[in-house]
Structure 1
Amino acid sequence: MMSLFPKTGTLAADVDRVLAAFGREVTRHHVPRVTQRAEELALQFGVDVHAARTAALLHDLGGIFRRDEMVDLCTALELPVVPEERRVPLLLHAKLSVVLAREWQGVDSPEILQAIRYHTTLHASATALDQVVFLADKLEWDQGGEPPYARALCAALEGGLEAGTRWMLGWMALPEARLLIPHPDLREAWRAYGLTDPSAAAREWSG
C-alpha cells in the first residue's frame, strides 16, 4: 500500500500527503503542532532535535488504518496484542506507526522507533527522547483547543523534564482524563515513577 506514496525526500511533506490521502484531517493538523512542540522541548532539555522531529512527524501515522482492522493487521504482522488493545484497538496505532516508519521511511534508529512506540502511554524505561515526544503529543492534543492541563503541565516542566513527565502521568490517572482503559505500559510507567497513587502528582500542581 505505501508503495503508492514514494518518498519525496521531505518527511513532513510525505507524512502530510499520506494523512491527506486517507482523510485524516484532524491528524494532519495535529502532527505539525506536535512536531514544533517536540523541537522546542528538545532544545529546552538538550535532546537530539532531529530525532525528536522525526519521531513526532511519524508518531501517528498508524492512525491511517481503521480501528476495526487494527487488531487483525497487527496479528498478520505478528505484533503482540494485549487484551487492553483488543478492547481499545486505537491503542495499537503506535505499533503500526513504528512499522510504517521503518518499512516506508527506512527509519532504523532504535531510539526514534521507541519514542514513536510509546508516545501514547510512555513506559517503565523512558528516555529523554521518549519523554519529549510523549509530552509534545499531550501538549498539542488532537481534541481541539488547549488541553485543560496545559498551564499546569508547563508549570511542572519548569522543574525539569522528569518533573513534567511525572505530572502528566499523574494527570492521566485523574477521572477527567477519561481513559477508556489504562494500558499495561502506562501502569508500568506509573510504577517506574513511583506513582503508587498516580493522581497525587497531578494534585500537587493543580491545587
Structure 2
Amino acid sequence: MHAVFQPLTRHLVLTGDLKTDIQLFLSANQCPSTAKHCMDVGAESRRIALLFNADPVAAEIAGWLHDISAVFPNHERIDVARQLHIEVLPEEEIFPMIIHQKISKVMAKEIFNIADPDILSAVGCHTTLRSNSSLLDRVLFVADKIAWDQEGTPPFIDDLNRNLKESLTHAAFAYLHFLWERKETLKVIHPWLRDAYEDLKDKVRLV
C-alpha cells in the first residue's frame, strides 16, 4: 500500500466484508455522508445493471467504491495524485474535484484489493465517463447521477430517467448533453467528458 494511504488505514480494523469495510473506512475518516452516498450509488448501480444485463455484483461494488477518495480534501488532491503517479491534466489542475475519480480507482486497488479491471475502469471514469466506455462504465456513470449527493432534485433527472427507458446509452448521453448545453458555465470541460459526448452522440444516432 502506498504511504499516502497509511494514515487513513493505520487504526482501521477491517472485517473482510467489503461493504462494511468501505463504510468503516469513510466514517473513520470523517466522511459519513459520502459513505451513505456510496451505498446509495451501489444500490442504484445494481438496479441499473439488472435492467441492462450488466454484472450486478460488479456494478454494486463499483458504486460502493466510486467516491472513497473523498477522504482527501480538494486542496490536497493534485499533490496526492502526483504522489500516486497519476497523470494530472490541466483541467484537473484547475478544478481538482474531477481527479477524485482517478484517485478512487487507485484506492480501490491498493486499500480494498480490487483487481477486476471492469470495476476499476468504472470507478476511474464515473464523473466524466470517457470514449469507448464499457457497459459497466455507463452503469456507474448513470447511477451516480440518479443517486445525487447534492441538495434538492437534480435538474436533469426527468430527462435522464426518460432516456433510461430508451437505453443506457441514451441516459448517459442525456446527462452529457445537459452539461454540454451549459458548458460556458462550467469551470472546465474535461477532455474525457468531451470525448464521451462526441462518442455517445454518434452512438445515439445509430440506435
Q: Does the alignment reach a TM-score above 0.5?
A: yes
Distance, in Å, in 2 between the alignment partners of 1:99 and 1:4 is 20
Equivalent position of 1:82 in the other structure: 89
- For residues 29 and 48 of structure 2, the distance between their equivalents in structure 1, rounded to whole angstroms, comes to 29
Q: 1:135 aligns with which of 123, 138, 142?
A: 142
Match among 17, 22, 40 for residue 33 of structure 1: 40
Once the two structures are TM-superposed, the CA of residue 187 in structure 1 deviates from its matched residue by: 0.7
Contact 2:27 2:35 in 1 (8 A): yes
- Give per-residue Cα distances to partners, 1:81-138, cap 9 Å, x unaligned: 0111111111111111111110111101111100000000000011110000000000
Work out the CA distance in 1 between the residues paired with 2:175 and 2:15. 36
1:100 & 1:28 partners in 2: Cα distance?
A: 15
1:63 aligns with 2:76: no
CA distance in 2, matches of 1:103, 1:110: 13
1:141, distance to aligned residue in structure 2 (A): 1.2
How many equivalent residue pairs?
196
State the partner residue of 2:175. 168
Cα distance in structure 2, aligned partners of 1:139 and 1:178: 22
Aligned-pair identity in percent equals: 33
SS of structure 2 residue aligned to 1:194? helix
Mapped contact 2:183–2:189 kept (Cα < 8 A): no
Amino acid at match of 2:48: L
- Displacement, 1:177? 9.8
For the residue of structure 2 that corresponds to 1:9, the secondary structure is coil
8 A Cα contact 1:171 1:177, kept in partner: no
Determine which of 191, 194, 198 is the counterpart of 1:191. Answer: 198
Unaligned 5+ segments in structure 2 are 1-5
* Cα distance in 1 between the residues matched to 2:10 and 2:54: 32
CA contact (8 A) 2:65 2:123 kept: yes
2:126 maps to amino acid:
H
Q: Which runs of 5+ in 1 are unaligned?
A: 196-200, 202-207
2:60 aligns with one of 44, 53, 65: 53
